[in-house]
Amino acid sequence: MDKNPKENKSGIQVIDRMVVLLDVMAGYDAPVSLKVLAVESELHSSTAFRILQSMLAHGLVSRDGNGHYSLGYKLLHLGGRIRAGIDLQREAIPIMEQLRDTIGESVHLTVREGFEIIYIERVASFKTIRAEQIIGSRAPLHVTAVGKMILGDRGREFCHRYAAQTGLPGYTKHSIVDSWQLIKAVEIDLKQGYAYDNEEAELGVGCIGCLVRDTTGVAIAGLSVSAPIERRSDSWIVHIRKAAELLSGRLGYDGQP
């Protein structure tokens, strides 16, 4: 019977064994043979081989010409995503604070997940009456300023798929619920470099948002300013665009398409 000497177990045997194999590989600077992996993980060779084959198929491990194993490219990719997320928030907070101090309203940092945006950071206004979102909350793309910028950036095919799969539900009487009207609006938004939320997600709340891009030019996030609709001002646009450009630059974006 195979033994696993590790005390930190999840209760899911195959995952525990996979983690042990990854830990063994991480301890070597060079690719490791199946024999060594089996001995150090205390797994039978056939068990270790089956798990490694599955990990290989998913890019979690790589195998060289000698049949030796090492950590795979997928782990590097996933690790980079984590690092990028940490860098994004770390770099964003002082820029968001400066934007809040300049405009006087709440500033949000959002990222896209599927057909929604997620609010991952917030710098709140000092005003008694303010508009702000809970960190971790979500909203559909078509009713938010940053979401509309993302739709424009992804193009018409994505917009049509988004409309077909979501049905473009109306959240207020101002929400855009027609696909062609949405496409026209988001293409204009993308061209001008900013978008409005005209009480489309919540009555009484207005927003202006811009995209944030990484070193490859990919739109990975958005900065937006939210406030009671009667306080929203077009004079904010230059400051929000400048903040988004500054954050993009901190992430390595050079402004080239």
In a domain, 5, yes or no: no
Domain residues for the domain of 113 are 83-250
Quick one: 136 exposed, middle or buried, by C-beta within 10 A (0-12, 13-18, 19+)?
exposed
Q: What is the pTM of this model?
A: 0.68
In a domain, 255, yes or no: no
| 115, 167: one domain | yes
Distance CA 171, CA 116 (A): 14
In a domain, 202, yes or no: yes
pLDDT band at 55 (very low <50, low <70, confident <90, very high): very high
| 225, 146: one domain | yes
| 94, 217: one domain | yes
Number of domains comprising the chain: 2
- Closest C-alpha to 19, from 9, 28, 27, 29: 9
In a domain, 257, yes or no: no
In a domain, 178, yes or no: yes
pLDDT per position as a tens digit, 218-241: 899 999 999 999 999 999 999 999
| 48, 97: one domain | no
Which CATH number does the domain housing residue 186 bear?
A: 3.30.450.40
| 102, 145: one domain | yes
In a domain, 78, yes or no: no
pLDDT band at 1 (very low <50, low <70, confident <90, very high): very low
| 149, 240: one domain | yes
In a domain, 194, yes or no: yes
| 56, 141: one domain | no
The DSSP output letter for 229 is G
Between β-strands 138-140 and 116-123, what pairing exists: parallel, antiparallel or unpaired?
antiparallel
| 132, 228: one domain | yes
Average pLDDT over the chain reads 90
pLDDT per position as a tens digit, 165-206: 999 999 999 999 999 999 999 999 999 999 999 999 999 999
